Structure 1
């Protein structure tokens, strides 16, 4: 009996040593940075030393889908009918981000307008009102839509239109502010439960601000690369050679705009004078459609093409793929801040902004992910909406 016990003791001793070596002395991480500097031995968070706040997972972002970054072939090889630089391709990598599950709706935008008005920001409210006259461009007898498209309950979850690039950017700033205010409220309530002062004061505001800033998010328009990556919905493992040979033309696998049941997969103009198809095929009450009316792509995102086009952050450059980098490429304008480097050498009109996708008034050609167009940043039409993204700093 002695020999078996000795062998058992030896096993547990060896197991304990392995566990201590592998797990007991974990390397520091952003979530567990440690209390002492590894280079100087000085304690953090003292009156005369660096204040270190552990990283925390970002809070859930309402209405958004997490997109894991990766490699794709950006652009396409189809005929560039508009001469806007949509016939080139380039291998690029896009890092992870969050994107709205659907375009910003009339209800979303009405909440924004209500908040501006309630806050007494009269000038900002007036500047944010969509250009209802843009609806006159799209169709003939449009009086009902001109008067009620934004506010009618029936159009609550239809995409907002008549919004310029500048207005969309201001919405992103407002959404960022509201999200951060909500996080401060949550953190203040948490402090109150723990016995701290509930409302921010001069004594605890810095602590609250640091804690919220540690997990805060910034909403903005997607870059052209982010938009294409989300639209292509590359899911699973695929070799680089495969991606280069088999580009996904649409946000779905089918080479046709129709699904397996024969029904169209997006809201677009089917032919000359044909916006909706035969009676019974469509029950939409407006040229636009309910944002969840058509199937999502493989990432669970709705209306990446069809219904309305989407403003992106990029300044228009016909040689964008050639003049930008291959990691998170973007053509920056003055509003986003020039990043320096070769992408700023090409002359361009800073006021022209790119929009992507296909609208209810566009032909099937624009259902192709790689197509691109541009418009002045202050222009608004009945065919362009927008959605927001948030860059992921890690999960």
Structure 2
């Protein structure tokens, strides 16, 4: 009898488990109870992810710090870094500066993808003439610095702010394209079989672009891969058994765009105060990316070694032969010296680095205290067909962007009208602000500088972009992360390079282990 009861109990347990699995096969909405990922209802829920950083990036846990607070001089250059407490959200940043080899990869892709577009290739070339000086023999660097393999891991220089922006767009598209090709979501025409390779190459007449792909404008025979995502609400294409769709943002597969870091992000990342904090207390401030007031290592094994690549004094770019102080006369490889507490190399010296901000002397007083930035140029993607939402694209397959037309979400009628050449004029309004044009350029935010006077009364304009960090040809003062200088966005220098950043989506805490947390009930 006891055995019979036991067997019956086992059967009941198994039946309960099977029933539970059957009825809980799909997660349900917490607010409506409707099952997700069920064809009968068509609602989708995607696996919650915290995506890893893109290639080359490290995670920077954000926090509060004093912008300009590391300046150690009583008289700072141009009085342009007044101290202000701000908060920087967590983000990703390149471990190293962009190197010559990275830029050669970019040039190679252009020449292979657009072999007859000589203008595009020429515009992407760094200005190697930045090495020339009237009274200095630098011709070997003009000829060799960019392309010779001996310099392949040295930071790229001679790159304008505009060129750095274009590189970020290219890098984003190549990263996301590779992700989709690796997962079989799209076809790699170069890896396609010989019989289908020509068709795939012909189908992909324009290169992959992330925005176009996400807008369902990079599809078709020779593009769609064999492992595309199932579409619960779609219909199978002719000759196919199941409906499929491209990857969307909600899938969490594609990564955010590469970009230049903001000035505040760059300064925060350079200081790396997380290495000197405990329980929200900063135990030791910094005036350089490393601890201490000096520029030499205090560690026993490396005592006396210079901690960055900079100019120690007039006529001293490297030290005495036989015992060079920083072991570099010009730039050094991007993985030189010790990284800071965030794991970033050469955040002082080697090359100055472009940041995203437009320069104003009083920016630190003007900007918001959360994620401060000056340089917003709000844009809208131009619609080729407002009814279908298809983007207009240029000859390189990228969406055409226009200045934003509104500071808030427009009504659908306004959206259609804004995309129509012959838009109907709006009716007169009693609102005193009605009819006032929306200015999508917020770079100056109520700045009244007259750009027509650029070069006459001031060298500062909306084309002036910030660079930071000090270089191989700068004195130690410029190694301080609070120092800031500017240059025209279409100018270049042998002392200026750059590194990229990326937005971090999701929870901001990078290393939650070993820290106290509240216990929270999980959703059913």
For Structure 1 versus Structure 2, the TM-score category normalised by the shorter chain is 0.7 to 0.9
Equivalent residue number for residue 119 of structure 1: 113
Match of 1:391 among 500, 503, 508: 503
Match of 1:365 in 2: 477
2:444 and 2:462 in contact (8 A); partners too: no
- Asked if 1 retains the 8 angstrom alpha-carbon contact of 2:443 and 2:462, the reply is no
Change (3 A) 1:340 1:35: farther
| Structure 1 CA distance for aligned equivalents of residues 278 and 155 of structure 2 | 34
1:156-167 counterparts in 2 under 5 A?
A: 156-167=152-163
- Shift in alpha-carbon separation, 1:114–1:84, aligned structure 2, 3 A: farther
Q: Quick one: structure 1 residues 225 and 368, their matched pair in 2 at CA, closer, same or farther if it must change by over 3 Å?
A: same
Deviation (angstroms), 1:74: 1.1
Equivalent in the alignment of 1:7: none
Q: What stretches of structure 2 of length at least 5 have no aligned partner?
A: 1-19, 21-25, 188-223, 230-235, 238-242, 380-403, 405-438, 450-460, 508-524
The structure carrying a bigger helix percent of its residues is 1
| Cα drift, residue 279 of structure 1 | 1.1
Query: Does the aligned pair in 2 maintain the 1:172–1:388 contact within 8 Å?
Result: yes
User: Which structure has the larger Rg over C-alpha atoms?
Assistant: 2
The one of 336, 355, 361 equivalent to 2:467 is 355
| In structure 2, distance between residues paired with 1:214 and 1:48 | 24
Aligned length: 356
Partners of 1:347 and 1:44 in 2: CA distance = 53
In structure 2, the partner of 1:62 is 55
2:159/2:492 contact within 8 Å kept: yes
Write out per-residue CA displacement over residues 158-183 of structure 1, whole angstroms, 9 at most, x where no aligned residue.
Answer: 10000000000100000000010011
Distance 2:265 2:359 in 1: 15
**How do 1:266-281 and structure 2 match up within 5 A?**
266-281=308-323
Relative to structure 1, the CA distance from residue 181 to residue 305 in structure 2 (aligned partners, 3 Å threshold; closer, same or farther) is same
The Cα offsets for residues 248-288 of structure 1, whole Å up to 9 and x where unpaired, read as 11000010111111111111111111111111333856511
Q: CA RMSD in A?
A: 3.1
Q: SS where residue 66 of structure 1 aligns?
A: strand
User: Aligned partners of 1:300 and 1:95: how far apart in 2?
Assistant: 18
Q: Does 1:256 align with 2:294?
A: yes
Q: 1:102 touches 1:302 (CA, 8 Å); kept in 2?
A: yes
Asked if residue 82 in structure 1 is aligned to residue 100 in structure 2, the reply is no
* Aligned mates of 1:265, 1:335 — CA distance in 2: 40
Mapped contact 1:307–1:358 kept (Cα < 8 A): yes
CA contact (8 A) 2:131 2:139 kept: no
Change (3 A) 1:367 1:342: closer
What pairs up with 1:305-384 in 2 under 5 angstroms? 305-334=348-377, 344-347=445-448, 349-384=461-496
Matching residue within 256, 270, 286 for 1:217: 256
2:345 equivalent in structure 1: 302
2 CA distance for matches of 1:139 and 1:63?
38
Moved more, 216-225 or 347-356: 347-356
Contact 1:268 1:306 in 2 (8 A): yes
Q: What is residue 146 of structure 2 aligned with on the other side?
A: 150
Match of 2:129 in 1: 133
Q: Distance in 1 between matches of 2:346 and 2:259?
A: 18
Q: Aligned partners of 1:271 and 1:352: how far apart in 2?
A: 28
Structure 1 equivalent of residue 89 of structure 2: 95
Distance 1:175 1:138 in 2: 36
Runs of at least 5 residues in structure 1 that lack an aligned partner in the other structure: 1-23, 25-33
Return the alpha-carbon distance in structure 1 between the equivalents of residues 378 and 492 of structure 2. Answer: 18
Superposition deviation, residue 52 in structure 1: 3.1
Correspondence for 1:108 among 64, 85, 102:
102
Distance 1:290 1:379 in 2: 23
Distance in 1 separating the partners of 2:147 and 2:136: 20
**Pair 1:40 & 2:32 matched:** yes
1:139 offset after TM fit, Å?
7.4
- What whole-Å deviation, never above 9, does each CA across 1:80-131 have from its counterpart, x for those lacking one? 5431612x11111111111111100001111011111111154322111000
